[in-house]
Structures are given as structure tokens and as C-alpha cells.
A and B are shown apart, each in its own frame.
Chain A
Amino acid sequence: MSKGQFKIQQMVFIIVAIIILFGIVSVFFVSIRFGSLRGDVEDLRKDAVLSQVRKIAGTPEFNWIASDDCASCIDLDKVFLLKERNTYRGFWTDTSLLRVSRVYPLEESSECTTENYPKCNQITLVNSGNFEAYESFVSLCRFDQELKQNKCEIGKILMGFDTVK
């Protein structure tokens, strides 16, 4: 091998080494960057769910109108009827769990269906993915067929957000 060829080979090795070094540094940098980005996205989703779970009782789909002075009352009949409507799929963005549960008094059946409503304990509107959930206590109000008047019971709203894989 002539000296010139040796020099060329030497430089090729150096360039390859520099490229590998750049590659390693880039991978390291990108992993740190995406790690922080993942954290930021999770924080945003968590903030969204935390801020929504406190206010969702006042949204048109949940609010109880028969009483003008109850900010944390939910119209249980409306929420149950909402469950039947496919059009609401995807309406609550960044939410992978949205459930209204009875706290007291508890009934025998778990999930509400057209057969067991209102003698049931929970109405699930959204349930998908791996979620981290937060809850807020509310009053579940409806017109009681037996009492022939409005009735409120203790319940809670659970909201969860998709954790970033």
C-alpha cells in the first residue's frame, strides 16, 4: 500500500469515527429530548383532565337544570341517555375514561343498561387505553318514579387520560 492510499484510508477511518460519534451524540440527545417531550405531553393531558373533572358537572351534557342553585349536580337521566348516542364518541378530547359512579346508596347491578336503569351503579361514557384517573364528588339527580319528585344521591365523576407509552 502506497503512502497516499494509506493516508486516504486513515482519513476514511477518521470520518467514519466522526460520523459514529455524531450518531451516538444524536441518539443520546434525541432520547433526552423525547423523554422531556413525553413528560410535557403527559403533564398537559393531566392538567386537562384535572381542570375538566372539576368543571364537567356544569357542562350542558351533565348539568342538572331543575334546581338553579346546584353547581355540582348531575342529571343522571341525561347522562344515561348520552351513553346511547354514538355521536359523542371522541367529543371529550384527551380523555380515555369518563365514568359517573354512584357512591351511596349502592345498588346490586354495576354498569347501567336499559334493563336495569336506574337501579345500577355506574355509567361509562368513555373507556379506552391505559389511563391515570382522577375523581370529583357530585350529586346524581333524577326524577324518581316512585317518589314522583326529584331525588339526588351521592356520586362521583371519574376522568382519566391516556398515559404516553
Chain B
Amino acid sequence: MNRKGVDFTFSWIFAIIAGAAILGAAIYITTQLIGSSDTQRDTLVAGEVANLLNPIQTNLEDNRYSVINFATDTRVYNECSTQGTFGVQRLSTSSKTRNQWSEESIRKSVYDKYLFSREIEETEDKKLHIMVNPLFAPFKVGDVISIYGAKYCFVNPPDGVEDLINDLSIDGKQDIGINKTNSINDCARNVTSVCFNRIGCDINVNTQSETVTKDGNDMYYEGDGLMFAAIFSDYEIYECQISRLMKRASELGAVYAKKAIYLQGSGCSNNLASDLQSFVLAANVSSSRDFARQVMLIAEGLERRSNELGSCRVF
């Protein structure tokens, strides 16, 4: 009787411990698999976002606008680094599932794209707005890709900016996430206000000095594309992407310098090689101030000279 009792107790204890261990392992593995499945999905989404930026690159166009619609609320993480010859753009996402944000996905690295946004850009109504403008300095350097999910209210934008907004929104028929008003009081409370040539908004733009002031930081721009980029970006991202764009301008300048020498040898006199070499050295800047105040001046001079060359144009 006693022996039977001991045997029964041992079996039960053994079965409970083994069962609990197996059940625990199964729950742990399942949880891990669900987590890795979320990461896998978000990593694929990050890759798809990077791919979707290819067809909207500019060719001969001045600027383009597009929207990415996501299946769920999504965060796009924008990481920029100036390390290496061209710097690197890293892109990752996380999505809201079961009312919780998943972990940041594995980062997708790209070298030929320049995303201007906040460090974490969140979709609104599951969509992200994308504005693409080419940057010429003096040749085409790349596309300035501005990404934003939040809504913006532009107070008294100048005519050029207003025309651009009208063009992109097809005269207001398409929602591009930007409203125009004449007074800051007309801006909704939950939107980011942008003042032009006056202060008092979340973001202030001075079109005379070509600066965008945000969170106490001044970002220098040249042209409407970079002005929009500065409005939608965090300061660190903006400065980093400008530096990356200038690294590419420097590399392209070196290619054009060689082309200038080659064309000179082919009977196409241009005398641009040494100026392009100077541009290559000058283009290695680390701030938007140096870009706007120094590099663009050299670029304008080079563009003028190249345009005078007719069929011997180097760029």
C-alpha cells in the first residue's frame, strides 16, 4: 500500500515537472517566433519602402509628390551616418499590432538616397507623404526626399512656395498634408505651424537669409526642395544628409573633372578641370551653413561657365 503511494506520487511529480518544462519551452518558443515574425515583417516593410523610393526619383522633372499607404500604423526610423565615401542612409520600421508598437526592424542600408524627416516618422491615417526635389550643385547631385506623416500649417507662404503647394496638391484636390493660411490663429491645434518671414510658429522660415529655425537650431537651405526638407527634418538628420549630399557632389565633381580633361583632349576646350578640382575640395562640408554660403557660390560660378560651352558642356 505504502509502496504504491510512493510510486504514484513520484510519477505525478515527474510528470508535472516534465510537463511544465515542455509547456514553458513551447510558450517561450511561440512568443519568440511571434516576435521574430513581427521583426521579419517590419524588415520586409523597410525594404519595400526603400524600393518604393526608386520609381519616384526625379528625372527631368522639377519635383514630385507621392503617398505611401501602409496596412497598419507604421513608424519609419531614419538613421543617417556620414561615415564612408558616401555616408549611409539606414531605414527601419515598426508597426502597431495588438495596440502595441513592435520592436524596430533590422535596418536597410542604402547609399544613394537622402531621406529628410524626423528621426522617427509616424504615419497619420496609415499614410506617409513624400516630396522629391532634385538638388543641383551645379550638376544634379541627388534627390532630396522629404518624408512626413504629420500635418503642417503654412502661415503666409511666399508666392513661389504657394505655387509649388498648389502644383503638388493639384490646386487643393489632393491632400498633401499642408494647409495654407494667412494667420497663425487659423491653424488647428494639433498641427505643426510654419511661419514665413515672421516668428511665433513651431517652425520659422526666413526666406531672405534662407534659414529654417526649429527647436532653436538654424538650418540653411538653397532652393525650395531643401527648404521643405529643413521644415520636415530634425536638425541632426538635415545636417547629416546635407553632408552626405556634398560627399556625393565631391565624388561627382571628380568624375566631371576627369571628363573635362578628356573633352579637352578631344578638341573641346573648356578649362574647367582645375575649378572642378577646387569644387571637389570645397564640397567636403559638415554643415548646411558652409553648404549654402560657400559651396553654392562656387557651384553657381561653375554652372555659368559650363553653360557658355555649348556642345562642349561638361555638365
Contact = CB atoms under 8 A, between A and B. Distances in A.
Q: Do A and B come from one complex?
A: yes
24 contacts: A4-B6, A8-B10, A11-B14, A18-B22, A37-B40, A44-B48, A48-B47, A48-B50, A51-B54, A54-B55, A58-B60, A60-B140, A65-B140, A68-B60, A71-B59, A77-B263, A78-B259, A81-B262, A82-B255, A85-B254, A87-B85, A87-B251, A91-B111, A93-B111
A66 B47 CA distance: 35
Contacts, number: 109
B313 A65 contact: yes
B83 interface: no
Which secondary structure dominates where chain B touches chain A? helix
Contact of A81 (B10, B258, B268, B311): B258
Interface magnitude class on chain A = 35 or more
Contacts of A85: 251, 254-255
Interface in A59-101: 59-61, 63, 65-66, 68-69, 71, 75, 77-78, 81-82, 84-85, 87-88, 90-93
Contact of B18 (A3, A11, A61, A143): A11
A13 B15 CA distance: 13
B253 to A, nearest CB: 11
B51 A47 contact: yes
B128 to A, nearest CB: 18
Given A60-B252, A85-B251, A4 B85 contact: no
A148 interface: yes
A119 interface: no
B60 A71 contact: yes
Contact of B59 (A3, A58, A78): A58
A63 B111 contact: no
A145 B267 contact: yes
A77 B255 CA distance: 10
